[in-house]
Amino acid sequence: MRILCLGDSYTIGEAVAADETWPMQLAKSLEQALVRQVEVQIIAKTGWSTDELSAAIDHAEAAHEIHPPYELVSLAIGVNNQYRDRSVENYAVEFTALLQRAIGYTAETQASRVLVLSIPDWGQTPFAASDARGPEKIAAQIDLFNAESARLAAAVGAQFIDVTRLSRCGDPELVTHDGLHPSAKAYAQWAQTVFTLAKNALL
């Protein structure tokens, strides 16, 4: 079984070991539950926004590095759009294009096999203490971006998964040593949240 994961630092797992990222923890759970080998391909990089992810996918396609169909495709992108104060309207346009590409990579172009993850609230991290916008404004902006991606996912039948609430529980162990990115413990929670929807989409 093959999974394609598209995104940014939250998908690549900045500051955690490769096997501690949520895609790899999800793959392990799926292997155990379905008794199938799971291969994960990741196209993600810390700092990418929607346009940069799209350009990277273009490059991967040109290099024949993407080989559909995939049983599942995940899409987790937008935090860097928000961080750079880009508009929600621009995000919606670029996210829609990425969502359509993700659907096209699935087996039989099944939108239900696309897993859209929400943007976690980095405003709750130690890193955000130096950001002039403050945690309340950051949270409000993230909520707007997430509302848009949830709406767009629902419109095409993709699955929207809320991991933002997990980032707002106030547990310091959910942030890794860099003071910004999720820890292995946080990604374990993400993987658990994704697991049921992912498994059901495969059945």
Average pLDDT score over residue span 119-139: 97
Average pLDDT score over residue span 175-193: 98
Average pLDDT score over residue span 173-188: 97
Longest dimension (CA), the chain: 49
In terms of residues, how long is the chain? 203
Q: What is the pLDDT of residues 138-164, one digit of tens each?
A: 999 999 999 999 999 999 999 999 999
Q: What is the pLDDT of residues 57-106, one digit of tens each?
A: 999 999 999 999 999 999 999 999 999 999 999 999 999 999 999 999 99
> What pLDDT sits at residue 108?
87
> What pLDDT sits at residue 203?
84
39-44 and 72-76 beta bridge pairing: unpaired
φ, ψ dihedrals at 84, nearest 5°:
-90, 10
**pTM attached to this predicted model:** 0.97
